[in-house]
Structure 1
């Protein structure tokens, strides 16, 4: 953090004090480009909203030093980039931090909980600030959580439609990381990958489709090689957060910290709106380009959900009592907001 005193006016009247505005330099960045769903609101809401709030008093202004689109670090290093102060504020993908921040990955171990991505944002904004287990996890990694990042709901994009569970038998689907668990006991084989590899994987026959979400599939054009979308409703997921380096944030003047907290709330709302609008637009544009949309029957969806083994158990073994607390708090928050998870992953706790 750098503070620079800038004299913006001399005494206007005899005996009046000169007004000095302080400039705070903030290095902000991400591993993904500005149009990406996890970055868009950082650039287009968080930064201008901080500027607007601070302009109301005029005591401080921010000099933003931007490093978006992976110019400083890649997606595998988002936690370290913020934790080590490579950037002061950045997008942190906790989905890639299963070993270092496992508590944040609770949604990926509890599929079919809700497709309402705005609800997920609201819940994790609250829990990350008010549930000690989650708040302390960010602090232990040298960060302060500001705003939640999510995905829209996961479905199946493939070379074939899925009308029944039998259609998944002996199929190979890209299902990276923890999402591979969602295919257990379905007869399908999960294959690791990422949005950047799905197109080639499917085109070359390495896989026959992928578990993914509309706002990610549209820009990568995966629908060109996987023209059959089966709406399954695996659910929206908490992906990570916009976070600040803790030492940097704690050292900011109180009015700047307050402005960032307020701006973070606006960013969460804007992120939810952007993802919702993009997902809806994506479905329309992909259909115009030839995508066919199917709906997995409710009876087959129930068979999928109930046929899964207890995939939350390994996560609970890894996270212990803290994991139990987070899981119970998450499912309580879902039910308080009217969600009806298709499987009660918190049973027995």
Structure 2
């Protein structure tokens, strides 16, 4: 007997619900009935959307707070989804149906981690930067500024650390989800709505960041005023003067978020390409999946992970060409970058000490990442010492 998935429950309320001449008891009864029916509709829809193992069709709610114009979210929609559907339907008897929630339509950038944890979505992509208290060790590349600007090498070096330290992946289990891919970013630089030539020119200016990476400026003693917000809110903050610039990769400063419209200056600094996003799956959803679908998901997720490196590398070159053509782009002199890195030499040790006090193996991870990046051929401007 062929089984078919149930996608939802359609309920039509009785038309006399809007009558105004019913008695109080009847009105209360009807009101309670309306609430019960509505709850039943929602519950039925959620069961249908999150019960992949009881039907031939695997329904997957996939989401990100970022729009598909952001590289990793675009790869989720345009690579991970179609490749997963194709692979599962070719290798198993199951069909795949995606329920999409990009651009914050289901979960916002600050809420995606919790959305996966609570089962609001089945698979979510998000930045660790919004989960500093829950995933403090996962930003280890942020703690070593001026790293490689090559996203391919960034992802490869980060993957080596995840393999050597299983506790990084296991950490997600504490929040009812499983990490299936790490995600690389394009290289970070600095965009502003004012011109500047030397570090002293940045003093007193309000600069946006994703939390921990603001230390690249604060810990160097530059004297900025730090401002934190999710990327979708940056345009308005710079436009209204709440901020005057931000630490960001070039794709966001160009056509994607159009930050160039409110910040006509972009300086290539080379803070590093950071692998600090993740793709996770809700554990309850994972447990209900057909056994033959799980290895397929893991295989496609592995290809997606690699593509976040190569995709961002190609995108960086294209986006920088666009910025150079449309706004004022300045390349930070090598000696200024070197001096900036030297001014941050103390910070990895300082932050590692704080994390060690909370029980994380920060010193070992930072030292191993320094070596992993060098294995990828990168030469640090400052060989940070973490004891």
Deviation per residue, 1:295-347 (Å, 9 max, x gap): 111111111111126323235423434223322332222121111222333x2
Indicate which of 53, 64, 70 corresponds to 1:3: 53
Deviations 1:50-73 (A, max 9, x none): 222223334222222222222222
RMSD: 2.3
Alignment of 1:38-187 (within 5 A): 38-184=72-218, 185-187=221-223
Q: Which has the higher helix share?
A: 2
Q: Which has the larger radius of gyration?
A: 2
- Local SS of the residue matching 1:66: strand
Aligned partner (choices 259, 270, 277) of residue 314 of structure 2: 277
Q: How many angstroms apart in 2 are the aligned matches of 1:316 and 1:147? A: 28
1:105–1:229 Cα change, 3 Å: same
Give the structure 1 partner of residue 252 of structure 2.
216
Where 2:71 maps in the other structure, the secondary structure is: coil
- Higher strand proportion, which one? 1
Deviations 1:164-203 (CA, angstroms, capped at 9, x unpaired):
3333334332234112211121243333344334334333
Structure 2 CA distance for aligned equivalents of residues 133 and 273 of structure 1: 27
* Aligned counterpart, 1:303: 339
In 1: Cα distance, 2:208 partner to 2:139 partner: 19
Aligned length: 331
In 1, Cα distance between equivalents of 2:270 and 2:258: 21
Task: Tell me, in whole angstroms, the C-alpha distance in 2 between the residues paired with 1:315 and 1:145.
Answer: 24
Which residue is 1:24 aligned to?
58
Which ranges of structure 2 fall in alignment gaps of 5 or more residues? 1-50
Name which of structure 1's ranges 335-344 and 230-239 shifts more when overlaid on structure 2.
Answer: 335-344
Alpha carbons 1:92, 1:241 under 8 Å: kept: yes
d(CA) in 1 for partners of 2:242, 2:85: 48
Stretches of 4+ aligned residues off by more than 6 angstroms: none
Q: 2:268 aligns with which of 211, 228, 231?
A: 231
- SS of the residue corresponding to residue 115 of structure 1 reads coil
Closer, same or farther in 2 for the Cα pair 1:95/1:206, shift >3 Å? closer
Match of 1:326 in 2: 365
Question: Quick check: 2:153–2:309 contact (8 Å CA) kept in 1?
Answer: no
- Tell me how far apart the structure 1 counterparts of residues 278 and 183 of structure 2 sit (CA, whole Å): 5
TM-score, normalized by length of structure 1?
0.86
CA distance, structure 1, for counterparts of residue 76 and residue 230 of structure 2:
23
CA distance 1:322–1:23, shift in 2 (3 Å): same
TM-score by length of 2: 0.78
What are the Cα deviations for residues 260-303 of structure 1, in whole angstroms up to 9, with x where unaligned?
A: 111012212332333233333322333333x1221111111111
TM-aligned CA distance change 1:70 to 1:191, over 3 Å:
closer
Cα offset, 1:258, TM superposition: 0.7
